[in-house]
Amino acid sequence: MKIEIINLPKITDPRGNLTVAEQMENVPFEIKRAYWVYDVPAGESRGGHAHKRLKQFVVALSGSFHVTLDNGYERETVLLNHPYQGLLIETNTWRTLDDFSSGAVCLVLASELYEEDDYIYDYEDFLKYVGCSR
């Protein structure tokens, strides 16, 4: 499974650093939606689903968390803890976010608007969708 961490421009300045994400430049899709997850209680996880059409670019704006990606055949976990790096999550990938540090903020840039029928919430249904028989 290909894990793609994309380094975003980091402009350092004594007054504070600045990072920018631009669609079709360092974010490899048109951004149609942005949302952020924060105040995740200790021990809780987010995600737990896959998308049929939507791609995501996930950034730890503050703090850290783990993202586990699963394509039905392989599973890998990535630590996100730099606000100048983003994780590209392709379609047909089960994702779970957990181990949020105190004060963590997760930014998600999405390639599509919200569509309920794009989500696969049941892992067994996901395995069938990607053609994986375990």
HSE at residue 47, side-chain half, CA atoms within 13 A, is 24
- Looking at 49, 51, 66, 82, which residue is catalytic? 49
Residue 60 near residue 105, CB atoms below 8 Å: yes
49 assigned to active site: yes
Q: Which residues are within 8 A (CB) of 124 and not within 5 positions of it... i.e. 6 or more apart?
A: none
Q: Which residues are within 8 A (CB) of 107 and not within 5 positions of it... i.e. 6 or more apart?
A: 34, 35, 36, 58, 59, 60, 61
Catalytic residue positions, numbered: 49
